[in-house]
Copies of this chain bind each other. A is one copy, B any other.
Amino acid sequence: MQIRIYYEDTDAGGIVYHTNYIKYCERARSELFFEKGLTPTDGEASGFVVKNINADFLGMSMLGDMVEVTTKLLKKKNSSLILEQSVLKNEKIIFKMEIILVFVREGRPARIPESMSEILD
């Protein structure tokens, strides 16, 4: 998934504001569903919730840059996932994180639906 850096993504330091890399990763996770005509929920009261993020900021990007987000499944359990997501600029990793997601239904961890499970493999 390719993402362009716009003014809104940068800050007065002249580079991309740090939390935006984490937003780009969320876009990439959602896009896995959207591009199949699905959403990352099977109803109002369900969806993936972020439990933990461990993120390394390794480089920087600037206005007008194109970056790429990659997503790799590290581990899948009944109701949770561990993904590794990276942001690359010119094929060099500038951001990398491990993220733990839990599928929640009515506020409680629940089995990830089959249909979603396939998308994330």
Contacts and interface: CB of A to CB of B under 8 A. Distances in A.
Contacts of A13: 7, 47
A27 B11 CA distance: 13
B12 A19 contact: no
Contacts of A47: 13
A26 interface: yes
A19 B23 contact: yes
Q: Looking at chain A, what size class is its interface with the partner chain?
A: 35 or more
Q: Provide the main secondary structure of the chain A interface.
A: mixed
A74 interface: no
Nearest to A33: B64
A50 B14 contact: no
Given A23-B19, A62-B12, A30 B51 contact: no
Interface of A: 4, 6-8, 10-15, 17-20, 22-23, 26-27, 30-31, 33-34, 39, 47, 49-57, 62-64
